[in-house]
Structure 1
Amino acid sequence: MVTRRGFVSCALCAVAGGFAAVATDAQAQPAGQTTGVTRKILSTEALPGGQYVVVQVAAEIAPGAIVARHTHPGIESSVILAGEAELLVDGQPNRTLRAGDSFQVPAVTPHSLRNGSGATRVAGTYTVEKDKPLASPA
């Protein structure tokens, strides 16, 4: 089942436990807000076996915005579509990412993002356990 729902003012990676992967309707629900980030859920789909869901998102991060440290109960795989940002992942060197660069963050690994001087657009895919918050503060 694929559903579509858009909303704004949420962090790139749903900081502060801002979203929950919901088994009953396989959607991500907003609960918190962060300024400087616009996020749109493109699709949410349950995977075979019923333990995980895949949430695909598009996000735009305002110039100079910072996404606070957080974790996910699964893997985040994203690509920078436009702009430039610095990715900070615990246990890894900081990376400057530009349009065309992709990155992956392992499950339950604290990470954050500092945007550059222009707007940055990101496409992200989260493969996470259903019934758990999509993100939690770290």
Structure 2
Amino acid sequence: MKSTQLVVAAVLFGASFATFADSQSPEIGRTELMRRDLGDPGREVIQVRVDFSRGAAFPRHSHPGVEVAFVLEGSLEYQFDGKPPVTLKAGESLFIPAGAIHSAKNVDEGRSSELATYIVEKARPLVKTAP
């Protein structure tokens, strides 16, 4: 039963990022590290390591809850609608409010990585693309 739940969770998580697969160049790798129910009904916490190849960028998107991004290596630029870009280096973090439309881009000479922690509503896609 537990392995079935893990397979279902992995498929749903992968599908939530499927819209990015065709629009990304170069590659962005994602590794889900943890997914747990919270005491608050209908909410869960998800941690994901995101590896950006040189020049890789996530297009504009939002999440059905908050995200805390912690840069593990390199430098990442985050762009929020109507605001100047914010560049973070390894060891720096950023709070992204629920529903905030943003993008992320590797602005380092090499690979950059972040640890993304989401506190989101269950049963909703983790990523919603923005026009």
TM category (shorter chain) comes to: 0.7 to 0.9
The runs of 5 or more residues in structure 1 that have no matched partner are 6-21
Name 2:115's counterpart in structure 1.
123
Q: Do the aligned partners of 1:81 and 1:100 also contact (CA within 8 Å) in 2?
A: yes
Provide the rounded CA distance (Å) in 2 between the counterparts of 1:71 and 1:121: 19
Instruction: Give the TM-score, by structure 2 length.
Output: 0.81
- How much does 1:103 deviate? 0.4
Is residue 132 from structure 1 mapped to residue 124 from structure 2 by the alignment?
Answer: yes
Q: Cα deviations across residues 58-98 of structure 1 (Å, max 9, x unaligned)?
A: 11100001110000000000100100121101243211111
Q: Any conservation in 2 of the 1:26–1:53 contact (CA below 8 Å)? A: no
Taking structure 1 as the reference length, what is the TM-score of the superposition? 0.77
Q: Which has the higher strand share?
A: 1
Aligned to 2:57: 66
Q: Which has the larger radius of gyration?
A: 2
Q: Which residue of 2 aligns with 1:57?
A: 48
Contact 1:84 1:118 in 2 (8 A): no
- The separation in 2 between residues aligned to 1:44 and 1:74, in whole angstroms, is 14
What is the alpha-carbon root mean square deviation over aligned residues?
2.6
Percent identity for Structure 1 against Structure 2: 36
Answer yes or no: is the 8 Å Cα contact 2:13–2:126 preserved in 1.
no
Richer in helix (by share): 2
Gaps of 5+ in 2: none
46-55 or 66-75, which moves further after superposition? 46-55
Q: How does 1:6-21 map to 2 (within 5 A)?
A: none
